[in-house]
Structure 1
């Protein structure tokens, strides 16, 4: 990561309430940047969350006796609803778009692009949070690519916050949200509500999903020399 005089979220000083859209490729990507979003919401900015895919692939066959893809999708959706309720997000501001489910259909990508386009144009966000484009996860990269296509096509005037994730390869840090152990404990509660992911990480990595995400935040804070132990970091890109 390269750090070039980053600012804090508070230093952006928005003059008016902003419409904020979170493009979460999977259920749980919202929670990975929850501290920053909580601070925005506490300042009166309206948060809208679009979960783009079902995330069914994130549940192993046989977990809690589940093997059916639809049942897996229902579990992940329920986990995301639970975490967003704990966060304090109004229920009507959470939507599941179910994109990119049929890779064998050559017409499906255009349909999915239109669905994402409709979602964004209905809200006309001022700020959009989404994964960084330099990421090893294909769905993260696709989220960024489709957003850029729509932003250019409709000349959206928006500030994009490209979030660091455990799979981000390299990024520039323009903005950081530092937080302490108390906020880290709150964030860990959100992350553990994704029980399927918590248990999968414990089984495959030897530590929980909560600790995996917070380890990324801890490393970011250390890299920046932050006075606080954790930081969510972002690269900013302006579209107009």
Structure 2
């Protein structure tokens, strides 16, 4: 029964991933901004100390050993160019901290944990199509954070494969979650779908299935791979 730390587990992709991983027999330690009675550990990633506190709490919940880290937590909020400089910078830094820095901190803790124990482990990074092709003028920060996550993923894969530490990334396009709903509506909805050859956005369950595969089933030779899930709206 692998112990899996899953961030952003309260809704959307994270909620679906929790269900999929639990159904496979994994022991999932979920994180959300606020704690919940179902065992969810509260950690607000806008606080730089939160990732370390989360890691320690997750280790305790897992009996001292975590096998898989899923970096899924994210913030997707518009940041118009014409906003005040201080507000624009604040929004940029908050998005970077929640979407990239917290994931980097947790990945570091995970790598060191596995090295100290002399065992392998897996990290699954839920990035975004935006990390490849960019995003709207109001979402520079989001695209930059997800691009940074992909670069971090590749670095981890190349550096630590010999230690049995594997890294996988998933790059969804638009997904039918609350986080993306307002964006779809603001960009015209149906018009936006015209850019997706599949004709629809992905479901959280589809992305969760890929998370499940990377966390539990992907062969070691796949380390460093990035799996797209965008309905062919971006192909490489």
For the aligned pair, the TM-score class normalised by the smaller chain equals 0.3 to 0.5
Greater RCO (Cα-Cα under 8 Å, separation 6 or more): 1
Structure-1-length-normalised TM-score: 0.43
Structure showing the higher strand proportion among its residues: 1
